[in-house]
Every structure is written in C-alpha cells, then in structure tokens.
Amino acid sequence: MNRPNFPDDQEGAYLKFRDQINTFKWKLWLALIRTPPAPEQLKQRRIQHDWLREFIAKVPIRPGDGRPAGVSPDGVRRWALAYLEQELADPLSLLYDPMTNSQFEVFKQWMKRSAANGLSNTVTNIPARALGARAHNHADVEKAYSYPFDIQLPFEDEVRSIWGGGGGAGAHLAFASNAKFRGRDVFLDSHGYRQVFDIVQGILQVPPEARYDATNKLIADWSRKQNKGDIDYNDMTASLLSLRGAKIAVLKVANWFEADRVNNAELHKLITEYGRTTISVKQLPPMNRRVGVNEPRFFIVVRSHEGRLTVIDLRTREFGQLHFVSRLR
C-alpha cells in the first residue's frame, strides 16, 4: 500500500515528538477500550463509510493535482480508493468507529471544502478532517479546529491545538505538556491588523490608531504603557524592532539541535556583547518557497525588558507577514 511519507523533517519531528507520542497513545487507547459494535453502530458506520466512498469517487482529478511518489497520473483514482479503504479498515484510524450525527455533518462539510484541492490532497486530508470533526461534541463547522476541545484523554494533559493535513502530514494533537518545548509558530502581521509579539504571551493586537504607524513611535508608546510586547515587525523596512528596551542578537547556529546546545549563560553573554534594538530580515525567503537546509533562515536570541530569553528561528517573510518559531528559555 502506497501511503505518502511525512516530509523527512528531523527538526519538525524533534519539536513535536512528544505531541506525536501522546497522539499515538490516545489512538491506541481508543482501539484498546473499543467494545464490539452494536447493530445500530454497525449500521451507522456503514452509512458513513458509504457516503465517503461515493464522495471520493466523484472528486475530480484536476491538471496539476499532486500525487504520491510512484503513482502514475492514470493510477491516482485507483490509489485514492485503495487509500480510503485502508483508512476505513485501520483500527487506529478515526474513521473506524462511527461518528455522532453532528460530528459527521461537520466532517462532510470539511471534506467538501477539501475537494477544491484535488483528489490526492482530499484523500490524504481525511485523517485531519476526521480528527477535526471528532474534536468537539458540537456541530459548529467553523470551530472544528478551535480550542477548547471535547477530547477525552487516558492521561493527565490537555489538547491545545490540532495540526496536520494533506500530503501525508497526518492528524496530530498538540498538548499543553509540550507547549514550551514545541514553541510558538508565529505569523506576525505588519499591515492592517498590525501586531506585536510578546515572548511570554504571544501575539498582541495593537489599537487601531497605531496600526499604520510608519515611525513605530505609537506602537512603542503603547507597548510601554501596556507593559507588554517585546518585538515588532516593520515590513516597509524589512526589519525587526525591539520594544520596551528588549535586546536582539544573531545566534550563529544552523538548526534547533545546535541552538539547544547553547545554554542560557551563553545567550545572556551574547546579548550583553552584541545586543541591539533592530535587525534586518531582508534575506528571508518568501513563504511559498520550501524551507530547507540551504535556505537563508537564521536564528536570533531576544532578551526582554524583564530579562526573559527566547530563541527565534526566522523562517520567511511575504504579504507583509513575518513567519518565525519562538521557543522560550
């Protein structure tokens, strides 16, 4: 059976590994406590599976649709149907047990939205769509992926978010217990909905009068008065600016493995020797370009006014947004 592989991303796996382990334990638990289905459940499952089979059979293959390695253009439909059957029969799949009627309505709506992305993506999106539908007891389609979740766990923890999708990314839960290690995936907007980033609290919205502040003075004043916010992105100058006296320094490492080997004392020393209030991010690639080992991403360390440290992996910039991952020390 040809299932697409999750991209070989050692760093991504490193940061999310604990989430993956806990997601695996949750799915294993669901399979282990499963009791033989009652006739009504069997009927409900058959109806839901039949709907999905008919739906997938009708999703069009569009020119330019992606397809897994080793599958010819003529074989995409056959591959998709085989993939679906494996999902339906897999005891760890979230389609194995029937959903409630309201959950299945949410699932159907999201599957219909996925269909706009072509057959291959629609099929590989099924696990993430099933997870979104099962994550709540309500039938609010727009809040399928929103916190808080109605997910019962067999261990002490809390689900903070859901991630995954097509192309083999699968469906995963992100847990409170891994929040600090995983870090924050941030898209900092510098245009109409201008934001600032606080290394502890995350993204903060600035008031309307400060959103188009080309000089950054209004934002700096607001941040100081609110006593929150550590960095701000200005797309016009392609630069990152510190707020409230925070200091920024470039950290010369290639990846998170190297960054995690630098201890806090060394980071403080770096800030003391090379800390500044602004840094250019012109070299960053656009968002729609695959970020790999040779791309000009780079790392910085930020020390807040309160003396807290965070290491930031600056990834991309495009459409007035700066994308980075921040991990608090």
Which residues make up the interface to another protein (CB under 8 A)? Answer: 1, 3-6, 10, 13-14, 17, 20-21, 24-25, 27-29, 31-36, 89-93, 154-155, 168-172, 257
- For residue 77, the minimal CB distance to another protein (Å) is 21
> Among 297, 326, 298, which residue's Cα sits nearest to residue 312?
326
Q: Say how far apart CA 302 and CA 271 lie, in whole Å.
A: 8
Which is nearer to another protein, 26 or 298 (by Cβ)? 26
Which is nearer to another protein, 92 or 176 (by Cβ)? 92
Which is nearer to another protein, 68 or 229 (by Cβ)? 68
Token pair 């269909």: residue = 115
Q: Say how far apart CA 279 and CA 277 lie, in whole Å.
A: 7
Which is nearer to another protein, 127 or 229 (by Cβ)? 127
- For residue 14, the minimal CB distance to another protein (Å) is 5
Q: Say how far apart CA 174 and CA 89 lie, in whole Å.
A: 25
- For residue 238, the minimal CB distance to another protein (Å) is 33
Which is nearer to another protein, 27 or 49 (by Cβ)? 27
Helix (H) / strand (E) element for 197: namely strand 195-198
Which is nearer to another protein, 39 or 64 (by Cβ)? 39
Per-position DSSP letters for 128-185, written without gaps between them: HHHHHHHT-SS--GGGTTPSS-----SSS--EEEEEEETTTTEEEEEEGGGHHHH-EE
Q: Angle at CA 128, nearest 5°, toward 40 and 50? A: 35
Peptide bond into 148 cis (omega under 30): yes
- For residue 194, the minimal CB distance to another protein (Å) is 37
- For residue 8, the minimal CB distance to another protein (Å) is 9
- For residue 26, the minimal CB distance to another protein (Å) is 10
